Structure 1
Amino acid sequence: MKVNVKRAFIAEMDSAQQLYEQGQFTKAFFHLERAHILGQAYVIPHTQSHWWMLKVGLKTHDAREVLGQIPRMLASVIFSRIWVPVGNTGGAKVSPFEPMAIPEDLKAILQK
C-alpha cells in the first residue's frame, strides 16, 4: 500500500472508530465506506473495513448489514489481490460486484 493511501486509510478508519465509540454509527459507516474504497485492493485493510461494517451492523441491529458483511469479509480475503469492483463502498445495500464512482478527493489520493 502506498504511503499516502495508507495514511488516508488510517485516517478514515480512525474517524470511523472514534464515531463508533461515540455511538454515531451512521457517520462511522460513512468513513468505513471511504476506508473501503481506499483499502479494497489490499487484503488486510479490505477485510478490516468489512469487519468494522459488521460491527456497526451488529450495534444497529441491521440484519441485512450483518448478513451482507459476513460473505464480503470472506471474499475480501480471497479476491482483494485478484479483482475488486473499483470504487465500491462495501456496504450490504450495494451489490458487491458493482463498480462505483470514486469521490474526487479519494481519487486524487489513489492516483498519486
Structure 2
Amino acid sequence: MNPKRKAAFDDCLNDARRLFDQQEWEACFYQLENAHVLGQNSIGAHTLSHYWMLRVGWKQKSWKDIWGQMFRMIASPLITPLWVPQGNTGGANVSALKAMPLREELKPYFQ
C-alpha cells in the first residue's frame, strides 16, 4: 500500500474507532467501509477492517453481519494476495466478489 493510501486508511480506521466508542454505528461502519476499500490490497489492513466490522455487528447483535464478517476475516488472508474486487465496501450486505464503483472521496487514492 502506498504511503498516501496507508495514511488515509489509518485516518479512516481511527475515525471508526472513535465513532465505535461513541456508539455511532452508522458513521462508524461508513468509515470502516472506506478503510476496507483503501486497505483491501494489504492482507493486514484488509483483515483488520473486517475485524472492526465484526465488532460493530456484535455490538448491534446482527447475526448476518457477525457471520458475514467471520467468513470474510477467514477468507481475506487467503484471497487478498490473489484478487480483490476494487471498490467493494466489505459489508455483509454486499457480495464479497462484487466490484463496486469507488466513492468520490476515495478516488484520489487510486490515481
Q: Find out whether 1:108 has 2:108 as its counterpart.
A: yes
Q: Deviations over 1:30-83 (max 9, x none)?
A: 000000000001100000000000000000001100010011011111111110
Identity %: 42
Moved more, 45-54 or 99-108: 99-108
Give the alignment's Cα RMSD to 1 decimal: 0.6
Output the CA distance in 2 between the equivalents of 1:24 and 1:36.
Answer: 18
Which residues of structure 1 form unaligned runs of 5+? none
**Structure 1: distance between partners of 2:20 and 2:101:** 26
> What is the TM-score when the length of structure 1 is the normalising length?
0.97
Amino acid at match of 2:92: A
> SS state of the match for residue 85, structure 2?
coil
Aligned residues: 111
Q: Distance in 2 between matches of 1:104 and 1:80?
A: 23
Per the normalisation by structure 2, the TM-score is: 0.98
Aligned residue type for 1:65:
D
Counterpart position of 1:44: 44
Q: Which residue of 2 aligns with 1:4?
A: 4
Structure 1 consecutive aligned stretches of length 4 or more whose deviation exceeds 4 Å = none
User: What is the CA–CA distance in structure 1 between the aligned matches of 2:77 and 2:110, rounded to whole Å?
Assistant: 21
| 1:60 matched to 2:31 | no
Q: CA deviation at 1:110?
A: 1.8
